[in-house]
Structures are given as C-alpha cells and as structure tokens.
Homo-oligomer: A and B are copies of this chain.
Amino acid sequence: MCSDHAPAVEIPAVNGTNGVTNGRRQPKLPYQQHHSDERSNTGRFQIIESTLREGEQFANAFYDTETKIKIATALSDFGVEYIELTSPVASPQSRADCEAICKLGLKAKILTHVRCTMEDAKVAVATGVDGVDVVIGTSQILRDHSHHKSMAEITETAIEVVKWIKSQGVEVRFSSEDSFRSNIVDLLSLYQAVDKAGCDRVGVADTVGVATPRQVYKLVRTLRDVVSCDIETHFHNDTMCAVANAHAALEAGATHVDTSVLGIGERNGITPLGGLLARMIVESPDYVKSRYKLAKLKEIEDLVADVVQVNVPFNNPITGYSAFSHKAGIHSKAILAKPETYEILNPSDWGVKRWIHFSSRLTGWNAIKSRAGQLGLIITDEQAKLLTQKIKAMADVRPLAIDDTDSIIRSFCLEHQPEDQPDQ
C-alpha cells in the first residue's frame, strides 16, 4: 500500500549552531556526533557533475550531440553548480560538442577535463568553457607506467599551465590522479605550488577506489591548511566507499564533490549524484532542498539509464525499486504509526512513494488492518489478527500476489460479516 502523508523527518539541526542553546550544550545522539568545526562544508558544498566526462568513460556510454545537450540541460536545471565535459582533444566531435554546450548559456558553469599540458589547455580554453580541469598522475605507479614524468617536471608544467589558463580569464583546477597512492610530501608540495600559481581549486582523486573515509578525512584536513584555494574531490567506488568518502572530505574542509548520474564511469564508477544527496540531506536538509530540484532526480536517472542501456539498480538509493519498501511486521506497524521510525529519508522530498508489503509470511496485523481499510473494509484488531494468521499461513506455502491477499481479506470479511461493514 502506498502512504503519502509522511511529515518531514524531524532531525534537530546541528550544523551552524554548534549544539549550544541558552548557553548550555545540548546532549547529542550518536548519529549527531559529527564535527561541526569551521572546516566542515557539509552545509555548503558544490557539485561538479561529470556524467558527460567520467560517465562517458563508462563501458556502455555513447553520447551523440543531442543526448549530451539533453543531459547537460537537465543537470543544470536540477541545480548542479558545474558540468564537466570530455576533453575536446579526445576527438573532433568531443570538441564540437563542448563548444555547442558552452553556447547553450546554461546556469551551471561548464568545465572540461584535460591532461596537464599546454597543448591540451589551449584547445580547452578555445572551446569557450568557464573552467578547465587539468589532471596528471602523481603516484609512483602511474609515473612509472603511464607518463614517465618526475615530480619536478610535473610541478614545472603544472605551474605553467595554471598560470596560462588564469591569464586567459578562465577558472582552473589542478588535480593529482591516484592521490591516495602518492607520496604525501610530493602531493602537498605540488598543491602548494599550484595554489601559489593562482589555481582556483586543487583536486584530490581516489582514482582506483582504494581510500577509506578516515584516510580521506586525514588527507583533506591536512591539505586544507596547506592551500588557500578550493578543494575538489573525486572518488571511485570499487570498494563501495565513494559516498562515505565524499562526505568525509566535506567534513574535513573539501568544497566540491565530483558526481555522475547513477555513478557511471570507469569500472563501477564514482560517487553517484543521488547517493551523495541522500547522504547530505540527512545532515543539511535545508541546504540540499534549497539548491537542488530533488523531485527531478528520478527523471534524470531514467534518462541516463536509457542512454547507456542499463537498468537502474534495484537497490539504488532513493529511486531504486525497493528504497522505500517495508516488509517485516514490526517495521510496517511502526511505519504506519510514524514513518520516521524506519525512514531517515522522506520519499515525498524526492517525488517517490513508500510501499508497505502485506503479502508475505513476515507481515503483521497492523499492515493487514491498514490494507483492509484501503479496500473500504473495517475490521477490529482481533479480526485483523485472525485474518493475518490466515494470510501468513498461505504466504508460508507460496508467494502471494497483492490480488491474492486482497481476495483473502475480502473473503474473510464476507465470512465474518461485521454489522457495520460497507456493502462492496
């Protein structure tokens, strides 16, 4: 059964207030014990949406120009602050598409992502983008097996490229690649150098999906005290930590998070747009609701899933088939009484509905009584308990469809003919 009457989840605000009221600190529950120190940007982050760059590196992605424009327009309308596009150096059409999207005049700023070389930077700036994201591998393994450059060479080129892009009046981000397998001294020295060269953002990238939230927190917190510019973060999801890592980065002072719709990207992808927002709305509901058109998330996910020919995973956050389904009797009873008992997210914020199962051996009499009510059949608690035993006995033998259960409910009510039963 669907229930629409979920009030907003009542979470005491912890951000910004430091938990102090009337001069006394308020006691906190364990889930509220996050740092609300001045570094934390969990209530003021920005999204760099990379479905059109990282997402194009997903196995199935082939975007024609029209598709790219459709996705970019939808993302800008959704409210993401930046849209990142494939390098114009990748192919002639990539370049033409980049130029076309820059001319759309979208609200979101347009970025493109290129290698940290003067050649790539020049092509990038010429497309008319608002900003250029440059990147180079800094771990020993990438230096040995990918580009064979020393840290001194990397630093020298990075400074030249950053300065040149800034001289063109264009925003610039410098990111290391494989940051978490890079030497920390090398990393911090490089970031400090590009910061001094006028970089708008430095990027920390977990290119292989190896980092854990505590490692992310530690690195970003250290970096926060080294550079004065913004800090962008990029997390692959190989070990399923991409959302938690993004959250930890924001807690430590990062300012920007890279996402893609459904997380698509190289291998099993990066921090998904929906997953990040599910995480962040718990902590910063006002901020998230004020910036992003959450009810449009499902439409954008369906669009991208269709383009890259995948199914939205059954367990996708928020929009997955089962994200708001409740089944065990104990859960259903409490959800019927007060949805916040078993929901930290409010489906109505996202334009989706909850679903309470009543056709299984795990069902409880509260769900059955509620279903009878939806069918216009009024029964007592005692009758509901008896009826539930019958339904559980049937569901113990075979899977029950909703129609099966509804038939059992109707037949039970006919049999018991309560005097005040509406005739139907």
Which residues of A are interface residues toward B (Cβ below 8 A)? 27, 29-31, 33-35, 56-60, 62, 86, 90-94, 115, 139, 141-142, 144-146, 178-184, 187, 206-215, 217-219, 237-245, 247-248, 251, 262-264, 266-269, 272, 275, 278-279, 282, 310-311, 313-317, 320-331, 333-334, 337-338, 340-345, 355, 357, 360-362, 392-393, 395-399
Contact check: which of B34, B187, B266, B326 meets A266 at CB < 8 Å? B326
In the complex, the answer to whether A262 meets B315 with C-beta atoms within 8 Å is yes
The docked-state distance in angstroms from the alpha carbon of A238 to that of B214 is 20
In the complex, the answer to whether B316 meets A314 with C-beta atoms within 8 Å is no
Closest-CB distance, A107 to chain B (whole angstroms): 27
- Which of chain B's residues have a CB closer than 8 A to the CB of A182? 29-30
In the complex, the answer to whether B146 meets A341 with C-beta atoms within 8 Å is yes
In the complex, the answer to whether A213 meets B212 with C-beta atoms within 8 Å is yes
Closest-CB distance, A6 to chain B (whole angstroms): 14
Q: Mind listing 5 A-B residue pairs with CB under 8 Å? A: A27-B183, A29-B139, A212-B247, A237-B315, A311-B314
Q: How many copies does the complex hold?
A: 2
Closest-CB distance, A405 to chain B (whole angstroms): 13
Contact check: which of B179, B214, B337 meets A217 at CB < 8 Å? B214
The docked-state distance in angstroms from the alpha carbon of A335 to that of B205 is 18
Closest-CB distance, A266 to chain B (whole angstroms): 6
- Which of chain B's residues have a CB closer than 8 A to the CB of A320? 268
Closest-CB distance, A294 to chain B (whole angstroms): 14
Contact check: which of B239, B325, B329, B357 meets A279 at CB < 8 Å? B239
- Which of chain B's residues have a CB closer than 8 A to the CB of A139? 29
